[in-house]
Structure 1
Amino acid sequence: MKNIIITGTSRGIGFALAQHFAKNGHNVLAISRNTATIDNLNLSNITALSVDLSESSDLKKVSDFVNSKWDHVDIVVNNAGMLINKPFSELTEKDFIDVYKVNVFGVAAITKLLIPFMQSGGHVVTMSSMGGIQGSMKFPGLAAYSSAKGAVITLSEVLAEEYKESGIAFNVLAIGAVQTEMLEEAFPGYQAPLSAPQMADYVYNFALTGNQFYNGKVLQVSNSTP
């Protein structure tokens, strides 16, 4: 049984992943702004915590929970994301800031908060996108989102080097098209080859075992374009 923290659990991959961990006997702290979907599961070993990652003051709820309920954290899955689909000419500074607050600054803040609770063998998995991979196909309207997803790739690579003596691994999964609400926002009407539960199953196994094989790596998890 491991202690797992997952962000962005109200829908999509995060919602499916939280259930997967909980139903396999792990303790899960499910973080999202809206906790209703997790609360409705009524699973005894999953706790939903309402946290806005773009608000630094909200993060104290996470450290307070870990301090009072757990003595350590084994796995962190940075899954929360925000997407704005607009032509570059229409993107405002606020649009960029809003996307980066969740997709980059929020990832950095919660990772920094939780590292002191992690031990050798711990694993931080950050969910990125094929849109953040240098040289991959890019799509109009996703300048803020894709550039933010590229930023967290570099962040994870740096953290792997900075904390390599700690035994904590930092890896990134750059995923392709998965049938989620966010995909619909990016590519309206597109039918992805993978469902959220299918991708959650992959992430589940990688989070538990991937740190035995990888550190500071970016794995491209995609079988389609987009």
Structure 2
Amino acid sequence: MRLNGKTALVTGSSRGIGREIALRFAREGADVAVNYYGSADAAEEVAGAIRAEGRRAVVVQADVGRTADCERLVAEAWQALGPLDILVNNAGMEIKAPFVEVTEADFDRVIDTNLKGTFFTAQAVVRRWIAGDRGGRIVNISSVHEELSFPGHATYCAAKGAIRMLTRDLAVELGERGITVNAIAPGAIATDINRDVTEDPRARAGLLARIPLKRLGRPADVAGIAAFLASDDAAYVTGSTYFVDGGMTWFHEE
């Protein structure tokens, strides 16, 4: 078990990719703090599955779009499980709208959840690592849309593009302290966020035509990379983004 004895916080882990990462970490030996925004029952189900693996779990409600919640989330996870070794910034959202119709409220919600939450949750953890002279692992869940345009989702693309540079910058700034910072950029993963495409046969066929592996990704595909980046197998990896997209980002056909 690559994460035996480690403690992790996974934001947005009541469902989808975050849920699978939390469960994979538990199977790899880690205790896990499960964070949710609105689905308490789903978060408790994840925590129960973690405990069934023989690991400790705590559930913490927090809106990572609020800086005070980021600090409270980390404080409560730290108090319940002890010092954290791993942070996965997974919480994210998107609001579809043509660029000219994006409201300030929608802009703020997407940027706050995807970017500000990543920034300030990491800050809260890193401050504690520095105070305790500890190293650690940060894994940011980005998106292929840090690289690929996505009309109708300008705010989401802006947030994910910013996460790409934040990951690189923090990797350089924090490296001498033994803190690694990496990102994962999922493509079309079969989760609720992609349901409007995956449940439309025509849209699904068009999407699969752009994926060399000819299938949608599974949350487990992302979780496997997260477990690697959180482990000592990736001790000399930092500032990198791993694309988990079936080859979609670099697909080109004449």
TM-score (norm 2): 0.80
Structure 1 stretch displaced more, 190-199 or 69-78: 190-199
Contact 2:11 2:36 survives alignment (8 Å): yes
1:39 and 2:37 aligned = no
- 2:212 is aligned to none
1:7 and 2:11 aligned = yes
In structure 2, relative to structure 1, the CA distance for the partners of 1:110 and 1:185 (3 Å cut) is farther
**Aligned counterparts of 2:74 and 2:243: Cα–Cα separation in 1:** 31
- 1:219 is aligned to 242
Q: CA deviation at 1:210?
A: 5.7
SS of structure 1 residue aligned to 2:142: strand
Contact 1:75 1:124 survives alignment (8 Å): yes
- 1:200 is aligned to 223
Structure 1 stretch displaced more, 183-192 or 141-150: 183-192
- 2:145 is aligned to 131
SS of structure 2 residue aligned to 1:177: coil
- Aligned pairs, how many? 223
- Considering fraction of residues, name the structure with more helix: 2
- 1:113 is aligned to 124
1:168 and 2:179 aligned = yes
Q: CA deviation at 1:31?
A: 1.1
Q: Which runs of 5+ in 2 are unaligned?
A: 209-214, 250-254
% identical aligned pairs: 29
Contact 1:130 1:175 survives alignment (8 Å): yes
Q: Which runs of 5+ in 1 are unaligned?
A: none
Contact 1:71 1:117 survives alignment (8 Å): no
Contact 1:85 1:185 survives alignment (8 Å): no
- 2:252 is aligned to none
TM-score (norm 1): 0.89
RMSD over aligned CA atoms reads 2.1
In structure 2, relative to structure 1, the CA distance for the partners of 1:188 and 1:147 (3 Å cut) is farther
- Considering fraction of residues, name the structure with more strand: 1
AA partner of residue 248 (structure 2): T
Contact 1:83 1:185 survives alignment (8 Å): no
Q: CA deviation at 1:220?
A: 2.0
- 1:144 is aligned to 155
SS of structure 2 residue aligned to 1:52: coil
Contact 1:177 1:224 survives alignment (8 Å): no
SS of structure 1 residue aligned to 2:242: strand
- Aligned match for 2:61, one of 15, 39, 50: 50
- 1:80 is aligned to 91
Structure 1 stretch displaced more, 197-206 or 172-181: 197-206
Q: CA deviation at 1:204?
A: 2.0
